[in-house]
Amino acid sequence: MTDRYELTMLDAALGDGTADRRSVFEVFGRRLPGGRRYGVVAGVGRLLEAIGRFRFDEAALHWLGSERMVSDRTLEWLADYRFTGSIRGYREGELYFPYSPLLTVEGSFAEAVVLETLILSVLNADSAVATAAARMVQAAAGRPVSEMGSRRAQERAAISASRAAYIAGFSATSNLEAGRRWGVPTMGTAAHSFTLLHDSEEDAFRSQIAAMGEGTTLLVDTYDIAEGIRTAVRVAGDRLGAIRIDSGDLPVVIGEARRLLDALGAHRTRITVTNDLDEYAIGTLGAMPVDAYGVGTSLVSGSGHPAAGLVYKLVEHTDASGAWRRVAKRSSEKAGTGGRKWSVRDLDAEGRATAERVVIGGEPDPGTGRPLTVPLVIDGQPEAGFMGVAGVRAAREHHAVVIRELPLEGMRLSAGDPAIPTVIQDA
């Protein structure tokens, strides 16, 4: 899970004596893709665990040697690889904006450069999902949203997508491994195949209720929605937990379903809607009597959200004399800013964010703002509180707090400028 040029750079640096130079790499995005007003950091806990076990085993070293990609000296170095440096950055669940220093990695050039693909593959994927999920939660306006996209994603990506969506405010997932590994609440009842298996829709509903109780959710659109609702209420009575609708002209179908449920006395039966939803579709249903949403394809497949576009760049290193030197790209449209950075979210008197203040060269006085960078790895040891189930819960709680700092303009779903400006200054 490493791009080849990381190892060829390492090989050359070991050969010319620059591999041990102390270096600072930074993860940031030059812009928010797709006209997003904010981004959501996700994947930090997964990344810390992955860095802790990042090794080159005998099989990998044998293959690298057989392909003659690097020298024997480099193979010996890789055999003993352990990251011993330090990482600080944004907490998982935090919001970010253009040029926010999401992650700052400090170590020798050699040990930091080989982490590029690992770091970017985790943070880019998870942050893209979390940002899309946060927008869907925002559009749902307090109604629960569940993740059910495992069948639309690569199997391991489905697990991490469930995790990222939960951090951003989704209430549950259909993915059992996300529940086992990360503590995400799981949900699920039956698909259309279960109804089609039985001799009648009524037989299927009776079987499901016998197994799961009257509080279950019955899928009522296998044949005819109105008839499915009547059958569901006839079988379960007014104690039926919910119906699920997965097809049709939703604004029309939902209104008719609510009227029919009420006419049948099932006033407490909830309506859950699925059917290829994204934040825009959820937003259009805001005035309808929907109680919950289920989202799959648009969240996990990438069809409903752009890539996060995060990059990993060298911003500072020691030179031959041991003095620190700031470095940055100068190429058109991809120019960077050298130097290690800290950041503060400036807040007004009401606690609303007004700017992302990025400071080069030293920790700033936060003033009335909120410091954003925290230690994540110290001398090669990841901070345990950011990992595992506890880390997921902490990230979810943190996100719920910081999303409320956004100004109202930042809550728009339409494409536009970032919710707050990024101000870069020297210490």
Say whether both 70 and 107 belong to one domain.
yes
268, 300, 332 - which closes a domain = 300
Read off φ and ψ for residue 54, nearest 5 degrees.
-75, 110
Measured on CA atoms in the order 277, 34, 163, 55, is the torsion positive or negative?
positive
Say whether both 291 and 206 belong to one domain.
yes
The answer to whether 95 and 40 have CB atoms below 8 angstroms apart is yes
DSSP states of 29-86 as a string? Answer: ESS-GGG-S-EE---HHHHHHHHHT----HHHHHHHHHTT-S-HHHHHHHHT----SE
The answer to whether 95 and 422 have CB atoms below 8 angstroms apart is no
d(CA 218, CA 242): 6
Amino acid letter for position 74: T
Give the three-state DSSP class for 92.
Answer: coil
Say whether both 280 and 355 belong to one domain.
no
Say whether both 310 and 295 belong to one domain.
no
Residue 156 lies in a domain: no
What pLDDT does residue 304 have?
62
Residue 139 lies in a domain: no
> Maximum Cα–Cα distance for the chain, whole Å?
83
Say whether both 309 and 269 belong to one domain.
no
What's 91's DSSP letter? P
What pLDDT does residue 1 have?
82
Amino acid letter for position 242: A
281, 300, 319 - which closes a domain = 300
Nearest CA-CA partner of 392 in 143, 127, 164: 164
Say whether both 347 and 393 belong to one domain.
yes
What pLDDT does residue 303 have?
59
Residue 249 lies in a domain: yes
Residue 165 lies in a domain: no
- The count of structural domains within the chain is 2
Per-residue pLDDT of the chain (427 residues; tens, 9 = 90+): 899 999 999 999 999 999 999 999 999 999 999 899 999 999 999 999 999 999 999 999 999 999 999 999 999 999 999 999 999 999 999 999 999 999 999 999 999 999 999 999 999 999 999 999 999 999 999 999 999 999 888 999 999 999 999 999 999 999 999 999 999 999 999 999 999 999 999 999 999 999 999 999 999 999 999 999 999 999 999 999 999 999 989 999 999 999 999 999 999 999 999 988 999 999 999 999 999 999 998 898 765 678 899 999 999 999 999 999 999 988 777 778 999 999 999 999 999 999 999 999 988 888 889 999 999 999 999 999 999 999 999 999 999 999 999 999 999 999 999 999 999 999 7
Residue 164 lies in a domain: no
284, 300, 316 - which closes a domain = 300
Long-range CB contacts (within 8 A, 24+) of 246-252 = 246/192, 246/219, 246/221, 246/273, 246/274, 246/275, 247/221, 247/275, 248/221, 248/275, 250/275, 250/281, 250/285, 250/288, 251/284, 251/285, 251/288
Judged on CB neighbours under 10 Å (0-12, 13-18, 19+), 60 is: middle
> What CATH number is given to the structural domain containing 264?
3.20.20.70
Say whether both 311 and 237 belong to one domain.
no
Say whether both 311 and 411 belong to one domain.
yes
Nearest CA-CA partner of 171 in 41, 295, 45: 295
Domain carrying residue 288: 188-300
> What CATH number is given to the structural domain containing 406?
3.20.140.10
d(CA 7, CA 13): 10
Say whether both 393 and 336 belong to one domain.
yes
The answer to whether 238 and 230 have CB atoms below 8 angstroms apart is no
What pLDDT does residue 368 have?
85
pTM across the whole model: 0.95
Amino acid letter for position 29: G
Say whether both 113 and 26 belong to one domain.
yes
